[in-house]
C-alpha cells in the first residue's frame, strides 16, 4: 500500500460524500468524491450522463477516475454506489487502501434520497422509477454481497454524519493495526 487510503462504498444515500469530507478533515487528509469529479470533468450532472450516455458510460468514467487518483496522497474517497461491482475496481481499492462500507436500511435510504431530490447537485437517477423504494430494495439486495466484502461496515441509520465520520476514523485506526489477510 502506498499512502493511507480509505474508500467509502455503499448504496446511494448512505452519506459517502458528506462523510468523506468530515473524516478527511479529522485525519487532515484529502477528500475526493468520484461522482463530483466526473460531473466536473464532463461538464454535466450524473443524471444527465445516465440519461444521455447510459449507466455503462458512467461506470467507465467512474473506473477511470478511481485509477487516476494520486496514490501517494493520504485520502478518503467517496465512491459511487455501483463502483465496487466491477472486480477490477475492488482489486484496485484492496491493493491501495481500506474499504469501508456505509450501510443503511432501504426505507431510510429512500427517505434520505427523497429529501435530497431537489438539491441542485443531487445525483439521484435511482429515483427515476414508478416505485423508487422497491427499486432501492432490489438494487441494494443485488449489491449487498459485494458490499459485504468491505474491510469494515458502519451502520448509519441511527448516526449523524459526524458520528459516522468518527466511526470511519476509528475503523481505519483499528484496520491499520491488523495485518492484511
Measured CA to CA in angstroms, residue 80 lies from 35, 46, 55, 173, 179 at distances of 6, 10, 12, 24, 27
DSSP assignment letter at 127: G
pTM score, two decimals? 0.91
What confidence tens digit (pLDDT) does each residue in 90-114 have?
999 999 999 999 999 999 998 888 8
| Topology of domain 5-167, CATH | Rossmann fold (3.40.50)
- The mean pLDDT value for 17-42 works out to 95
Sheet holding 98-103, edge to edge: 30-33, 75-78, 5-9, 98-103, 152-155
Q: What is the total residue count of the chain?
A: 181
Measured CA to CA in angstroms, residue 158 lies from 87, 154, 161 at distances of 31, 11, 10
- The mean pLDDT value for 63-89 works out to 92
pLDDT for residue 1:
47
Amino acid at each position: 500500500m502506498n499512502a493511507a487510503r480509505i474508500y467509502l462504498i455503499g448504496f446511494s444515500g448512505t452519506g459517502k460524500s458528506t462523510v468523506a469530507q468530515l473524516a478527511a478533515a479529522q485525519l487532515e487528509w484529502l477528500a475526493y468524491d468520484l461522482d463530483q469529479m466526473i460531473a466536473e470533468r464532463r461538464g454535466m450532472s450524473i443524471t444527465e450522463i445516465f440519461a444521455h450516455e447510459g449507466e455503462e458510460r458512467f461506470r467507465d468514467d467512474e473506473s477511470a477516475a478511481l485509477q487516476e487518483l494520486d496514490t501517494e496522497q493520504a485520502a478518503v474517497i467517496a465512491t459511487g454506489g455501483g463502483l465496487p461491482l466491477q472486480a477490477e475496481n475492488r482489486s484496485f481499492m484492496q491493493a491501495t487502501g481500506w474499504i469501508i462500507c456505509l450501510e443503511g436500511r432501504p426505507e431510510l435510504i429512500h427517505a434520505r434520497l427523497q429529501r435530497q431530490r431537489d438539491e441542485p447537485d443531487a445525483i439521484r437517477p435511482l429515483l427515476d422509477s414508478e416505485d423508487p423504494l422497491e427499486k432501492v430494495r432490489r438494487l441494494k439486495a443485488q449489491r449487498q454481497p459485494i458490499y459485504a466484502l468491505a474491510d469494515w461496515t458502519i451502520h448509519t441509520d441511527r448516526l449523524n454524519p459526524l458520528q459516522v465520520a468518527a466511526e470511519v476514523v476509528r475503523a481505519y485506526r483499528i484496520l491499520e493495526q491488523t495485518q492484511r489477510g
